[in-house]
Amino acid sequence: MGDITNNPNDQSSTHLVMLIHGIRTRANWYVRVSDELRNAGFKVELTNYGRFDLIRFLLPITFFKAAAASHIERDIRTAMATYNVERVSIIAHSFGTFIVTWLLENRFDINFRKIIFCGSVVKPHFPFQSFTGRFERPIINEVGTRDVWPIIAESVTWGYGSTGAFGFKRPNVFDRYHRGVSHSEFLNAKFCHDWWIPFLKGDTPQSKDEPERPPWWLVA
């Protein structure tokens, strides 16, 4: 990637990518994906809100979610100051996608370049149209047609959506379907190389598969 340099103070030539993990994980995938991104010439920084358990994820209490988002906000601000950039690209998984939308709604001075979701639990009607000046369109939404967790999250509590299983099907978002893929199967170096790096470099996103109906017991 010819326009990337090693000078963190040169904002015009620094493309900073940050990774946001999901719940109940120590985010071991960070190592594989960040190495792949660095090999492609990107600057990469990680975020961490700790191991967020299932109970806090499901409880309809905004305090827990806001507390997790505040940790991500801290890490993003620190990284942006370090590299002296005004915008940052994001790869977010699962609950990390919810945090990105929380930042869009609540922290108006944080702006993004590319946004990539996988295993999204964001509501399908989230008002991206209200924040189009805050990110580069479209957002990529990687949809695993065997991803049951967004469906479960939407079904058993409120505040979440099943867009990681069904897509947004709306303007400003490009839903890319991957047949037979489950919740965390995106999180590897090959997937990053094949799908995320071309998009981050500016390529027009391409489709993969058609949607697939999830297991009957989840949508009956």
pLDDT tens-place string over residues 111-132? 999 999 999 999 999 999 999 9
CB 15 within 8 A of CB 171: no
Please state which CATH number belongs to domain 11-219.
Answer: 3.40.50.1820
CB 197 within 8 A of CB 37: yes
pLDDT tens-place string over residues 82-121? 999 999 999 999 999 999 999 999 999 999 999 999 999 9
- Is the whole model's pTM more than 0.75, yes or no? yes
Domain extents for the chain? 11-219
